[in-house]
């Protein structure tokens, strides 16, 4: 891997104002990094299983809340498990959806076993081939500013691939009860919408 980025610093650099978004993450490192950064804010829903679910779940949010900016954080292992979802996203073209794939080239949660992106697979090319209109790859910290501009300004849906060094995500013990986190997220969104 050519990466020099420490994933534990990534979320604050990409999303200096995380409260502006509805945040959906996949399992493992993607969930931990964003949960730690936002202290598990009520605009964040994380997965602890259901691998492959992050992108379609974020798509369901984005299509049903078209006035919100929706961000999906996923890992390379999870995304490869549901590559077809990129085609599903491209077919419906939700302008309010950004997908960020934190690519460490390995299955960190299960012991760091090598994944396809450490060999030959390039998920940015896959996203482009699936028909996602805006695709960018980041491999070093000097690209953060350009990445923020991409997430703000590029026509949606957007796909940002961030190659990071292998290594542990941020330590954070999040709420594992999905029935509770569902209600926290849902009630916060509905209350905000009611309040205008």
Partner 1 sequence: MSEREVWSKLIFDKLVEADVSLFSYVPDFGNAAIVEMAEEHNSTRTVLLASEEEGVALCVGADLVGARGVLLMQSSGVGNCPNMLSLVQGGRFPMLMIVTMRGDYGEQNPWQYPMGQAVVPVLEAMGILCIEVEREDELEQAVDAALSASFKAGNGVALILTQKFLGAKAF
Does position 68 interact with partner 1 (CB under 8 A)? The reply is yes
Q: How far is the CB of 168 from partner 1 (least distance, A)?
A: 25
CA angle 44, 20, 80 (to 5 degrees): 50
**Count of residues interacting with partner 1 (CB under 8 A):** 39
In the region spanning residues 83 to 122, those forming contacts with partner 1, defined by CB under 8 A, are 83-85, 87-88, 91-92
Report the run of H or E that residue 158 belongs to, with start and end: strand 158-163
Among 5, 14, 23, 45, binds partner 1 (CB under 8 A): 45
Do 35 and 54 meet the contact criterion of CB atoms below 8 Å apart? no
- Spacing of C-alpha 69 from chain mean position: 13
Q: How far is the CB of 195 from partner 1 (least distance, A)?
A: 14
Spell out, one character per residue from 155 to 194, where the chain touches partner 1: x when CB under 8 A holds, - when not: -----------------------xx-xx--xx--xx--x-
> Is the bond preceding 157 in cis, omega lying within 30 degrees of 0?
yes
């Amino acid at each position: 891997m050519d990466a020099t980025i420490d994933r534990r610093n990534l979320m604050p650099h990409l999303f200096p104002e995380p409260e502006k978004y509805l945040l959906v993450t996949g399992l493992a490192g993607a969930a931990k990094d964003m949960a730690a950064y936002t202290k598990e804010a009520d605009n964040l829903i994380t997965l602890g299983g259901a691998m492959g679910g992050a992108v379609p779940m974020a798509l369901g949010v984005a299509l049903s809340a078209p006035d919100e900016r929706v961000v999906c954080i996923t890992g390379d292992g999870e995304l490869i498990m549901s590559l077809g979802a990129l085609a599903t996203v491209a077919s419906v073209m939700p302008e309010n959806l950004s997908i960020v794939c934190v690519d460490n080239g390995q299955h960190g949660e299960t012991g760091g076993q090598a994944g396809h992106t450490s060999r030959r697979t390039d998920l940015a090319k896959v996203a482009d081939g699936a028909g996602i209109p805006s695709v960018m790859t980041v491999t070093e910290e000097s690209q953060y500013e350009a990445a923020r501009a991409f997430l703000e300004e590029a026509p949606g849906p957007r796909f940002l691939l961030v190659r990071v060094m292998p290594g542990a995500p941020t330590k954070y013990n999040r709420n594992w009860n999905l029935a509770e986190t569902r209600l926290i997220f849902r009630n916060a969104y509905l209350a905000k919408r009611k309040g205008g």
